[in-house]
Chain A
Amino acid sequence: MALESNSRYVAEYPALAPELPGQNLPWLQQLRKVGLSKFSATGFPTPREEEWRYTNVSAIEKKLFAPVLDFVSIQPDLQAIDPSWLKEHQLEESWSVVLVNGHFSAELSVLDDLPDGVKVVSMAAALMALPDWLQPYLGQAVQPGEHGFVAFNSAWFTDGVFIHVPTKQVLAKPIQILNIATQADVLATTRNVVVVDCSTETTLIETFVAATDDAYLSTSVTEVFAGENATLTHYKLQAESDKAFHFGGTYVKQAQYARFTHHNFAFGGLLARCDIHTDLGQASECDLNGLYLGVKRQHLDNHTRINHLKPHAISREMYKGVLDDRARGVFQGRVIVAEDAQKTDSQMNNRNLLLSNDAEADTKPQLEIYADDVKCGHGVTVGQLDEKSIFYLQSRCIDEETARNMLTFAFANEMVDKIKIKSLHDKVLEQVLFRFPQEGVEKEWL
């Protein structure tokens, strides 16, 4: 029963395959084939897999989602997008690539005046025009065998974005990948490849939003290759519909001295899972930040893996969760320090705030250290609002409910405040206040 929709996807794949991009590329066909056979064998992941032990995706398997096959068929979807709604989500002062139900829309994208040599191209177009650029990267930062979602994504992806920033290029504006779902029951499957060469500076923003309140399945895999001394700041704002299912994976390879900063805002979806995995080269740095806000029956799972492969790398991680109603938050953070990775400096933190007795947080930091000269630490907390703090605020004339809201907001806002781009900061803040409207009473928080 549970496997029914999985087997339907597999059964329908042969008919679908000719419509997917990259048919003429044997190496890509091979990748898709490996993905398909892994997915046929195992389906989506189950809690029996160690890295999925807190997340049961059987609700996804009970539904059947349908891919949107070609660009022509999304025309009605594009028409349905209200320009003022789009404007709310499309960042000003950025290059913006818009993907609607898993397909690139040139009309909605804004890609004028890209500096010479910088490529921001839809995945489908890049597979036609620039396959040799993609071959060394696609499927290299994450294997289809990683788990069922990556396998599925590898076989089924319909489009995505290829970004290449050549050596020493410092981008003046961020690049936004705006993923929009517009239909019920749609399957949006996208694959992105981001290559930032030596000594570049890039800011990438991935946004997931919906113009529908219904259920759909969005899976997006982004492979990132950061060259020597490259700096990449990557924001992800996941604000899918309340009923949506979301899987998003970011898999990074950092060359020596590369710096990767990630900010993961997991707000939407009924069931959402996010993977952030990075392989650290010598003396490279990563800084992973996360904020998950769960209300009602949301299930928000965040999985990070930091592979210290070489000496002298630094990793920092801070994930915070706020969980209300019957929501459940999951944080699994793995730090693996290879034998060769001496002088590793790693610190991982996860803090969870439970606002109701029915909310739940599962937190599992894992340190696996095979080198002997390292500095690694981790700390996790799961708790409620501090009664001493509430009383302190009450003694300063603030009523209890406002005090609770203030403290909750302050807890979450620490992560929002790390956003360096004003317009994005304001949008994320809006999302926080939207999800915890009682805290919106006082807008002037700072």
Chain B
Amino acid sequence: MLKIENLHVSVGDKPILKGINLEIKAGEIHAIMGPNGSGKSTLSHVLSGKSGYEITQGSVTYQAKDLTEMAPEIRAREGIFLAFQYPVEIPGVSNIYLLKAALNAIRKHHGQPEVDAMDFLTLVKHKVKLLEMDEKFLYRAVNEGFSGGEKKRNEILQMAILEPKLCILDETDSGLDIDALKVVADGVNSLRSPDRSFVMITHYQRLLDYIKPDFVHVLAHGQIVKSGGPELALELEEKGYSWVEGNQPGVAA
């Protein structure tokens, strides 16, 4: 589904990602862990097409297409969804309006007619319930005045409704209390399917207790310094990031 090869990314003159290799197959869950500033959000932004990043080397292929050539909205319509680490507040645009506009943009992209208003409402209300949210949130402006936890939940609500192929969750767990974390994890788990993949970016292994990854990668200084199974997350928790940061090839810690 997604293949990242030798990806180098700079902001201005500053190299941030320094040769990432990662392959994600349909149905897999990959966790990317790493200390603050290691480049996790940068990777998620580059995958979703945010401007301001220069790809200096390497390639990203998504469903056999060159992802780097696609506008952000095309990537989104083709099934890439980023749950932001810091969701943006959009005053004056209601949640429900955005959801409908997004869903219809996807449908149009695939040559399908617009969603029926009643079907849409039924779908949305079902998902709202699943995420234990108040229906009132639908009619509020996107993320405006939401608490940190509410914003994260709202990201997952959007994801549940848009049903993407590749879900990238950037520190969705931070700012969530344990109950909210369970609800969000249930929401994510309910979306698991053989043709949907997940990239879970996280700082702590806590989230991975609820969403079990197939692979864990450790990102440090813009490189994947270690990959393994779920047990790697536990080991990391135990030993701390200094353990892997020291592993960084070629650069003294």
Could you list which residues of chain A lie within 8 angstroms of chain B, going by C-beta atoms?
386-389, 391-400, 402, 406-407, 409-411, 413-414, 442, 444-446
Contact = CB atoms under 8 A, between A and B. Distances in A.
Contact of B82 (A386, A395, A398): A395
B76 A394 contact: yes
Interface in B58-91: 71-73, 76-77, 81-82, 84, 87-88, 90-91
Contacts of A407: 90, 92-93
B92 A411 contact: yes
A270 to B, nearest CB: 29
Interface residues of B, number: 30
Given A395-B81, A445-B93, 5 more contacts: A389-B88, A389-B90, A392-B88, A395-B49, A398-B98
Q: Which 4 A-B pairs have the closest CB atoms?
A: A410-B92, A397-B105, A394-B72, A392-B88
A402 B72 CA distance: 13
Interface string B205-239: 00000000000000000000000000000000000
Contacts of A389: 88, 90
B88 A388 contact: yes
B168 to A, nearest CB: 10
A446 B88 contact: no
A398 B91 CA distance: 16
Contacts of A398: 73, 98, 101-102, 105
Contacts of A445: 93, 97
Contact of A396 (B49, B51, B91, B98): B98
A397 B102 contact: yes
Contacts of B48: 395
A388 B85 CA distance: 13
Contacts of B91: 410-411, 414
B172 interface: no
A397 B77 contact: yes
Contacts of A410: 90-93, 141
A402 B105 CA distance: 11
Nearest to B83: A395
Interface of B: 48-51, 71-73, 76-77, 81-82, 84, 87-88, 90-94, 97-98, 101-103, 105-106, 109, 141, 158, 162
Nearest to B117: A444
Contacts of A413: 92
A393 B98 contact: yes
B72 A414 contact: no
Contacts of A397: 73, 76-77, 101-103, 105-106, 109, 162
A388 B94 CA distance: 17
Residue among B81, B101, B102, B109 with the highest chain A CB neighbour number at 10 A: B101
A386 B82 CA distance: 19
Contact of B51 (A391, A399, A414): A391
B102 A394 contact: no
Residue among B48, B81, B88, B103 with the highest chain A CB neighbour number at 10 A: B88
Contacts of B76: 394-397
B119 to A, nearest CB: 16
A392 B162 contact: no
A394 B88 contact: no
B172 to A, nearest CB: 15
A410 to B, nearest CB: 3
B67 to A, nearest CB: 14
A392 B71 contact: no
25 contacts: A386-B88, A391-B51, A391-B72, A391-B88, A392-B87, A393-B98, A394-B49, A394-B72, A395-B73, A395-B81, A395-B82, A396-B76, A396-B98, A397-B101, A397-B106, A399-B73, A402-B101, A407-B90, A409-B92, A410-B91, A410-B141, A413-B92, A414-B91, A445-B97, A446-B94
A251 B251 CA distance: 72
